A and B are shown apart, each in its own frame.
Chain A
Amino acid sequence: MKHRSPLFTLAAVALAFIIMFTVDVLAGPPGASSAQPVATWAPPAPASASRSTEESTSPQLNPENPEVTVDGDKLDAVPVNGDGEL
């Protein structure tokens, strides 16, 4: 006997992944919706920027949402679990 249900389970999990990713992408950055910040966030540094990330210690404005102040450090440059994040 061929079991089909595992393939449906796989498809359901793949669909759930797609839905969750879509929701996260559509939700946008913190402040724009119910999305919750989990760590410092910074926009990608422009290619022409000459300052290093170490020099940019003052908070910057999030270009997508000027009301939200974010750190200048890259997310992967600092431990994101500093506030208890998993």
Chain B
Amino acid sequence: MTSVPVPAAEAAPAEPSGTKIGPVVIAFVIGTAVSFGLGVYGRLHTPSGHAVNIAGFSTGAAAKAALASVVMALVIVQTVTAMGIYGRIPLRGAWVGTVHRWSGRLAVLISVPVAVHCLYALGFQTYDGRVVAHSLFGCFFYGAFVFKMLILTRDDSPKWALPLAGGLVLTGLTALWVTGVLWFLV
């Protein structure tokens, strides 16, 4: 009895051993559902027109602009430390990862009062292009954040998945800042 040789192209897996795309797709679907859910809530919920003001700020808009700017600064720290982690810039040491994680945690937690103010007091508005973009990117940002957090827990994700998720978070937050804070300040 003779054995049939298996061609090398068929024997070798397309992806590196242990890499799975399924969990990435599931995380993406969950993130999309979060974005969609926030948008639906913002659209269906009757805007209250009021929200708890943060002490020390003259108006709710000023508080949101300040908090969102802090978040933007922390996201820039995230981007720089991520470039160090991936060897794109010469940042070395265990502190890089620690700074990356804590800047991210702080950024998202600080963004929550801003997001709740937007969702509860104003809702998903569509009266001009900037506001539509701001509303869409607000929903997109939290969906991208959930997507990134879920694939962070997986060591078997493709190598491109985490930088992609981080890039989506950065894109969403930058667009939010431009359509909100920059517009407010200019």
Contacts and interface: CB of A to CB of B under 8 A. Distances in A.
B49 A37 contact: yes
A47 interface: no
A46 interface: no
Interface string A60-78: 0000000000000001101
Contacts of B15: none
Nearest to B113: A20
A53 interface: no
B143 interface: no
B127 interface: yes
A6 B155 CA distance: 13
B84 interface: no
5 contacts: A17-B115, A24-B51, A24-B120, A35-B53, A75-B46
B153 interface: yes
A36 B53 contact: yes
B9 to A, nearest CB: 33
B52 A36 contact: yes
B105 A9 contact: yes
Interface in B98-155: 101, 104-105, 108-109, 112-113, 115-118, 120-123, 125, 127-128, 131, 134, 145-146, 148-150, 152-153, 155
Interface of A: 1-7, 9-10, 12-13, 16-17, 20-21, 23-25, 27, 29-30, 33-42, 44, 75-76, 78-81, 83-86
Contacts, number: 123
Given A35-B51, A36-B53, A44-B46, A9 B149 contact: yes
Contact of A36 (B59, B68, B109): B59
Question: From DSSP, what is the main secondary structure of chain B's interface residues?
Answer: helix
B70 interface: no
Nearest to A44: B46
B161 interface: no
Given A27-B52, A76-B47, A6 B181 contact: no
B140 to A, nearest CB: 16
Contacts of B145: 13
Contacts of B131: 79, 81
A53 to B, nearest CB: 14
B50 A9 contact: no
Contacts of B120: 21, 24-25
A69 B146 CA distance: 41
Contacts of A12: 105, 109
